[in-house]
Structures are given as structure tokens and as C-alpha cells.
Amino acid sequence: MLVATSHQTIGPYWHLIEDPAWSNLLRFGAEGDRIVLTGTVTDGGGELVTDAAIEIWQTSPAASDGFPAFGRCQTDATGSFRFTTLKPGPVAGLGNAQQAPHVAISIFARGLLTSLTTRLYFQDEPLNESDPVLSLIEDPARRATLIARKVSDDAWHLDIRLQGENETVFMEI
Amino acid sequence: MMTETAPFRPIEAGSQPANDTPLYRSTGLRHPARPPLRIPQTVTETTGPRFRPVQFGPIADLSVVNRKQAVGERIIVRGRVVDEDNRPVPHTMIEIWQANTGGRYDHPGDQHDAPLDPNFHGSGRVFSDADGWYQFVTIKPGAYPWHNHHNAWRPNHIHYSLFGTGFGQRVITQMYFPGDPLLALDPIYHAIPDQAARERLISSFDINITSPDRALGYRFDFVLRGRHATPTEQG
């Protein structure tokens, strides 16, 4: 059996492959429940992380020619990213379980030798209470690091802290 | 197209770098202090985005911009994308970026005092073929200084980004060149604990990829995480 290739950092110059259009998952014409997802990334010293690549992937609505279900956005000078996408619905879990609506997130940056994986959930979703991943986190304050707060009718915001107080829950898959 | 939904096997111990690597200074305030939460792999983790060349146009020759040849040593890089069971990963997107021959990135953040080359941008995108093979032409990147420690220099390298067939296969890495004396001193390379895993990031010179009167050839293969053996589902 072979062993998977090792990761290395994305480094500070990854913007050479950046296409800002990738942050708009509706650019190929998808229609539906349009939402905006924003976030801010900070490090263990409370400093803004201004050179990260944030990627999102969602399985609801399903990917199609009109909807890539995947996006990439840089964190800017204010440590912030912004995606336009479609609101996910519930997602099948293992067995008969149902997962709350969520978006998977990968974080790449200078100083990260391998990517960080996390999830974004939506405030006020009743299914959050029974979500099989959120349920693995006993401490409500830790669980809250994954739940984006609603900032307007169609926009949610998630603060991501790489290290220290209120450190985001990162996942191994 | 068949969509595979079997979960990925665990990561082989020692084969991946730890984010807490003090010799690479930027990791200090950026690595999570808490261990990651192990979660079950659901459809979110086992499936992933598909990219088609019609929407994500290939750029397979980085050595020419506006029909003008970049400065430096032209090379061909060829290799295969397979999974841990040695199954080819076909039609998968590979993103590439790198410094120019002088060790300078065409990026506003790179202030290294080496010349930019108007005929070299340093980014590309290719797709593996039906058997997992990919190839591109570029200029051999130069070494460059960085400020990690006194007299720190990065070995010659090309950055890669691959997606594979599922979110859990996503990988961003760097390809190095054989015989580079800077590898022995590089904390990013040495962050990978297992020596054999580390050395698999070093490409090999290949006379069969070398093109007569044109360019030297290097071979570099990728292995993406394998899946547990369970039936596939129609996607």
C-alpha cells in the first residue's frame, strides 16, 4: 500500500493561483436561497491573519454545472473573507442520522504546514441540537465556535480563532 | 460519473507535518493548541468538488507569456496521481505556482531583491488524464531568502494544490529537486517526521521525460488518501 503525499504550507504567495471570482459560488448562474457568509481569522496573539486561503465545500444544494458548491477566498487586510453562496439544507449523516445545515471549511496559510478543517453551522437552526458532529462537543462554549451568527436576513458571520482563548474547534477527518 | 462515498482511511503516522513546528517560526501563533476533534466521515467529507476544463481553463506552459520565452532553465514536469491503493485519479485538477529563475514571485508581497521577469508569471493549472498522468512545462524556480532564521533560504520548489475526489483528499504541498543542498537546512521540509515520506517530495530527474534539444524532465507523483473498501454508490 502507498502512503499519501505529505502536506506543506501554502506559503504567503499563494495568491498567484487566486481568482477572486471563486468566492462567488453563484457565478455560473445558480439560483436559489442566496446568502452571504463572512468571517474573520485571528491568531493566538489576537492578530488578524491577512494571508490565508479559506475554502468552503457544501453538499447541499448538490454541486452541478451551475453550482460548484466550492469556493475559495483570501483573508484581506482586515483578516476577513466573504462568500456568496446558496443556503444549505439538512444533510444525510451516517445511518439514519440527519446533519444540520453546514458548510465545510479548509484553512490554508503561511505558518500552517497542513490545512485546518472545520465547519460552519447556522444560528437558530433547530437541527443544531441533534447534529451528530456538534453533539461530539460537550462544552457549549466550544460548540459555539462553529455556529455563525446571523447578521441580517441573508448573511451570517463566523469568527475563526486559530489558537488560544475561544480557539475554534478543528477537526480530523 | 460514479461518486465514491466510502470513507478515507486514517492518515499514516509520521507522514504528515505537525502544525506545531517551532523551527518554522510562523507556526508559533497559528497552530491550534487543542487536539483536533475526530469526526465521522459523512458525505461532506467523502465527496468533493469537480472541476472541468471548460470552466477552469488549463495553463500547461508556464514558460511562455504573450509568446515570449521566460528567462531560465526550461523544464518539463510529468507524473501520475494515484491513491494509496495505486488506483489512478483521473481528470483531477492540479494547481501550480512558483518563483521565477531568480527566486522571485510575481507577487506584491515578495520583496526579495531579485528581478521580476515580464515573461514569467508563475501560475498554472492542469488536469490529470484518464490514467492519472499530468504534465506541464515551466522554468526551474530559484532559491530565495526568507526571514525564518539567520541566513535562511528556501530550497528550489514548486507549489501544488490537488483536490482529488473528496474533501478529505485535498492536499497542498511542495515539490523539491534532487541534490538540493538547502533541503538539509529547511525547517518546512523537515517538519515531516518520516524520512521516507519527506523524500517522496523530491522529484527525480528522468531522461525519458527529457525532451531532446528542448528541456530536462522531472518526474513527480502524487498519492492521495485511499478509501476503505466498501461499495460505491451511483452519483
- DSSP string computed for B193-234: S-HHHHHTTB-EE-TTT-BTTTBEEEE--EEEPPB-S---EE
Q: How far apart are CA A161 and CA A24, in angstroms?
A: 24
Of B154, B198, B225, B227, the catalytic one is: B154
Query: Is residue A7 domain-resident?
Result: no
Question: Is B80 one of the catalytic residues?
Answer: no
Contacts of B1 in chain A (CB under 8 A): none
User: Of the residues B9, B159, B190, B219, which is catalytic?
Assistant: B159
Residue A114 forms contact with B (CB below 8 Å): yes
Kindly state the average pLDDT of the residues B37-42. Answer: 97
The CATH number of the domain holding residue A132 is 2.60.130.10
pLDDT of res. B2 = 60
A21 near B CB under 8 A: no
Catalytic residue among B74, B80, B104, B105: B105
We report the CATH number of the domain holding residue B157 as 2.60.130.10
**Chain A interface, best mutation among B1, B37, B43, B194, by max A CB count within 10 A:** B37
ipTM value: 0.97
* Confidence (pLDDT) at A132: 97
Does residue B16 sit within a domain? no
Residues B174-200: b if buried by 16+ CB within 10 A, e if exposed: bbbbeebebbeebbbbbbbebeebbeb
Q: Is residue A167 one of the residues assigned to a domain?
A: no
Question: Cα–Cα distance between A104 and A83 in angstroms, integer?
Answer: 13
Domain total of chain A: 1
Burial class (CB in 10 A: 0-12, 13-18, 19+), B216: middle
The arithmetic mean of pLDDT across residues A75-99, rounded, is: 97
Mean pLDDT of chain B: 96
Q: What is the pLDDT of residues A122-142, one digit of tens each?
A: 999 999 999 999 999 999 999
Q: Does residue B196 fall inside a structural domain?
A: yes
Residue A2 lies in a domain: no
* Per-residue pLDDT band at B234 (split at 50, 70, 90): very low
| Residues paired with residue B69 on neighbouring β-strands, in sequence order | B64
* pLDDT tens track for B110-155: 999 999 999 999 999 999 999 999 999 999 999 999 999 999 999 9
Q: What is the pLDDT of residue B10?
A: 95
Q: Are A97 and A131 in contact (CB under 8 A)?
A: no
- Structural domain boundaries enclosing B104: 2-8+21-26+43-234
A6 occurs within a structural domain: no
| Percent of chain B predicted with pLDDT > 90 | 95
Helix (H, G, I), strand (E, B) or coil at B136: strand
Q: Identify whether B15 is part of a domain.
A: no
A170 inside domain: no
B67 DSSP 8-state letter: T
Other beta carbons less than 10 A from residue A140's beta carbon: 7
Asked if residue B68 belongs to a domain, the reply is yes
Q: Provide the phi-psi class of A64: left if phi over 0, else alpha when psi is between -120 and 50, else beta.
A: beta
The lowest-confidence range among B77-86, B194-203, B222-231 is B222-231
The backbone region for B206, taken as left when phi is positive above 0, alpha when psi lies in -120 to 50, beta otherwise, is: beta
Task: Count how many domains chain B has.
Answer: 1
Tell me if A104 is assigned to some domain. yes
Chain B residues lying within 8 Å of A49, measured CB to CB: 30
Work out the burial of residue B91: count CB atoms within 10 Å of its CB; fewer than 13 is exposed, 13-18 middle, 19 or more buried: middle
The residue range of the domain holding A65 is 14-161
Phi-psi region of A15 (alpha: psi -120 to 50; beta: other; left: phi over 0): alpha
